[in-house]
Amino acid sequence: MTKEIYIIRHGETELNKLRIIQGSGIDSSLNEKGRSQARAFYDFYKAEDFQFVYTSALKRTVQSVQDFLLEGIPYRSLSDINEISWGIHEGQSPNPVLTNSYLEVVKKWDAEDYDAALPQAESPRELSDRLRRFVDELLANPAEKLLVCSHGRAIRCLMTILHDEPLKMMEQYDHSNTGLFKVLYKNGRFASLTLNNTDHLHTEELRSMVW
């Protein structure tokens, strides 16, 4: 069995622009720039003949691939690929206290404490458990070319799972709004063909911060 899997982060939201923390508890919509990014991705990749689309259960991912869904491509929205829950940080603008607590928990993850979490938030272990369920779903799907739209931290975690890496390697996977991670599954193994590719974003105006 061979599969080509195109994994993208959703387009920009107004909260992205304002650097407000979203997570799984914030169901925001794309802003004008995010809609333009989504359209640019569609125009660039519409000839790829995707056979199935997965989105998270949050509307910013559905909106990011809406043009593909309008073609009638079968799809499922799954909460298993929602963004991580950032707990009490969600809806907050960065400030020194929040930033320091975030850096402290990332330091714990780097030390392989995968049960560490921000207050009322999800841990990497909890996130990886649901993403592993998604990988099982992905492999059970008979489609050979699939499009997946998810979220920044979820994609970081997913890439470590696909590459059989420790979760502490999440930080190496930079992500941009509508950045593409193209993965090939062949002979029982996943291999990345491209990481965070933004060739479809032709202008600096469409490119977004890593956030």
Catalytic hit among 4, 10, 90, 175:
10
DSSP of 19-82, one letter per residue?
T----TT--PPB-HHHHHHHHHHHHHHGGG--SEEEEESSHHHHHHTHHHHTTT--EEEEGGGS
171 flagged as catalytic: no
Q: Which class for 21: exposed (0-12), middle (13-18), buried (19 or more C-beta within 10 A)?
A: buried
Task: Give, to the nearest 10 degrees, the angle between helix 152-162 and helix 124-140.
Answer: 70
Tokens 């709004």 belong to residue: 177
Question: Per-residue DSSP letters for 96-124?
Answer: HHHHHHHHHHHHHHHTT-TT--STT---H
Structure token digits, residue 84:
């991580």
Q: Which of 4, 12, 83, 122 is catalytic?
A: 83
**83 part of the active site:** yes
Compute CA 32 distance to the chain's CA centroid, rounded to the nearest angstrom. 20
Q: Which residues are identified as catalytic?
A: 10, 83
